[in-house]
Amino acid sequence: MRRSSWLTLGMAAMLGGVLAGCSERPTEMAAVPNADRVRQAGDTITPRLVRQLAKSRNITAYPRPPYVRPALARLGRELAFDKILSGNHDVSCMTCHLPRYATGDGRSLSIGSGGQGLGPNRTQPDGINIPRNAPPLFNLGAMRHLFWDGRVEVDGHGHFTTPAGAQLTKAMTKVLEFGPVSAQPMFPPTSAAEMRGTSGSELAGFTDNDATQIWAALMRRLGRIPRYRRMFEEAYPGKRFDDMNFAYASNAIGGFIVSEMTFRNTPWDRFLDGDDRALSQRQLDGAATFLTLKCSLCHNGNNFSDDQFHNVAVAQIGPGKGNGGSGLDDFGRMNVTGDPADQYRFRTSPLRNVELTGPYGHDGSIVDLRDFIDHYSNSDQKLMDYNPAQLIAPLRNTVLDNMAAVIAARDTIILGVVLTPEIEDKLMDYMSALTDPAARNLSRLTPRRVPSGLPIDK
């Protein structure tokens, strides 16, 4: 980390100290364009320079996703859209990861079980009951950590760490073919707030921690639907439905996500694959800006995420994760590791299709993409001046006054970052190069019917 910080400071300064706070100017800047040219003149930014910068930040094109058996992806799709996995048959995975909202819900914070309506119009008698923003499901095959706090995690040896502890047995993990994204679907159905509900079904009597019993009950439900039995046995040739556990369902949803929600036909990926004309001059210029600013210290690798946890001074809104004196705070990664050094840290967000996936941040407290970029400029001040008028009415008076504590723990990487409107324009141009046109309309993902016959949210 130390070494790459150095690199950035060096490089930003070489390109003319585009960031205030990068006052050190190495002497070896001879052959590199000066600040004004970087700011104004597209002519100095060549494809070659941008490819070099990308390489120096280890930013690579997105790899081809693994092969997913069509029968497995089909099963995963039906399960993802089927409300049969919720206690009261009222919520499916896709209720919060709607094709219409780029696999999010277009809300700062989601509403789960017991909700009415979809997307921004969704309401629930008890109000907003989920403390975090529903992230998009794009390109998750690349991530080692899932969830904003990374609580579903696989290490280099294929060892899973999840909230279920030993309840996720060996017999289950050996079924999970696509890493964390195959394990993650085990969890929403166990959560009373998201899918299980607190009354009205055979699942209501459990607590969120009774994963083993909840998973078994869900398999009993699925086993009563002949079409599911058939689809499971087609997806896992040679295995009888009665010998399967819920990991087989979870893995199928993971396979669906990997096969249908991997997007790599962006102008940026085509550029990295060798097409000099894939980016407009403005996007090329924007790329050079992103790659020389500190952004790419955290947003790097093939999915624009270091898969690590940082505190970038995002305001806290909504019901929170039960942390702090008020219970309304969200300590992020610290809730997983118990390490106070992880307080307020969240996983670096991947950025492909980011134009389409607002609101932004772990709690969706920043609604517009440009505002999220702008918040990196003097971020401490931006946090203190946070404007709740951008939020829907029920959230406006929920801004938590934890700002001094967040700033005290804020990642020093973003200290002193100042972005001019021109630089923000360029960053926006670059963000537009990260969109795969095929992600703009995802209606093709929605099945016409699901085996339970329940209505479909899309």
Q: Are 56 and 11 in contact (CB under 8 A)?
A: yes
CB 425 to ligand HEC: min, Å: 12
In the numeric block, the tokens 């869900």 are attached to 218
CB 408 to ligand HEC: min, Å: 16
CB 172 to ligand HEC: min, Å: 15
Q: In the complex with ligand HEC, which residue's Cβ is closer, 200 or 274?
A: 200
CB 157 to ligand HEC: min, Å: 21
Residues 117 and 112: their CA atoms lie apart, in Å, by: 11
Length of the chain: 458
Strand, coil or helix: 155: coil
Q: Strand pairing partners for 323?
A: 329
Quote the tokens at residue 203. Answer: 């699942």
Q: Are 334 and 340 in contact (CB under 8 A)?
A: yes
Q: Strand pairing partners for 153?
A: 145, 161
Q: Are 234 and 228 in contact (CB under 8 A)?
A: no
Residues 33 and 44: their CA atoms lie apart, in Å, by: 7
Q: In the complex with ligand HEC, which residue's Cβ is closer, 274 or 381?
A: 381
Residues 137 and 414: their CA atoms lie apart, in Å, by: 27
Q: Return the DSSP state at 146.
A: E
The sign of the torsion formed by the CA atoms of 385, 389, 390, 393 equals positive
CB 25 to ligand HEC: min, Å: 20
Q: In the complex with ligand HEC, which residue's Cβ is closer, 30 or 121?
A: 121
CB 281 to ligand HEC: min, Å: 19
CB 211 to ligand HEC: min, Å: 13
Ranges of beta strands (E only) in 264-422 are 309-310, 346-347
- Residue 212 sits at φ, ψ, to 5 deg, of -55, -50
Q: Are 223 and 246 in contact (CB under 8 A)?
A: no
Residues that bind ligand HEC (CB under 6 A): 80, 85, 91, 93, 95-97, 110, 112, 130, 132, 134-135, 137, 140, 146-148, 181, 184-185, 188-189, 194-195, 253, 293-295, 297-299, 310, 312, 314, 346, 348-349, 354, 357, 360-362, 369, 372-373, 376, 411, 413-414, 427
Q: What is the 3-state secondary structure (H, E, C) of 203-259?
A: CCCCCCCCHHHHHHHHHHHHHCCHHHHHHHHHHCCCCCHHHCCHHHHHHHHHHHHHH
The region, left, alpha or beta by phi > 0 then psi within -120 to 50, assigned to residue 197 is: left
Residue type, 322: G
Q: In the complex with ligand HEC, which residue's Cβ is closer, 143 or 278?
A: 143
CB 76 to ligand HEC: min, Å: 9
Count Cβ atoms within 10 A of the Cβ of residue 203 and give its class: 0-12 exposed, 13-18 middle, 19 or more buried: buried
Q: What is the CA radius of gyration of the chain?
A: 23
Q: In the complex with ligand HEC, which residue's Cβ is closer, 273 or 368?
A: 368
Q: In the complex with ligand HEC, which residue's Cβ is closer, 2 or 277?
A: 2
CB 348 to ligand HEC: min, Å: 4
CB 185 to ligand HEC: min, Å: 4
CB 432 to ligand HEC: min, Å: 12
Q: In the complex with ligand HEC, which residue's Cβ is closer, 96 or 168?
A: 96
Residues 446 and 77: their CA atoms lie apart, in Å, by: 8
Q: In the complex with ligand HEC, which residue's Cβ is closer, 278 or 287?
A: 287
Q: In the complex with ligand HEC, which residue's Cβ is closer, 14 or 250?
A: 250
Q: In the complex with ligand HEC, which residue's Cβ is closer, 270 or 410?
A: 410
Q: In the complex with ligand HEC, which residue's Cβ is closer, 234 or 411?
A: 411
Residues 358 and 283: their CA atoms lie apart, in Å, by: 21
Quote the tokens at residue 112. Answer: 């789960």
Helix and strand counts by DSSP (H, E) for the chain: 19, 5
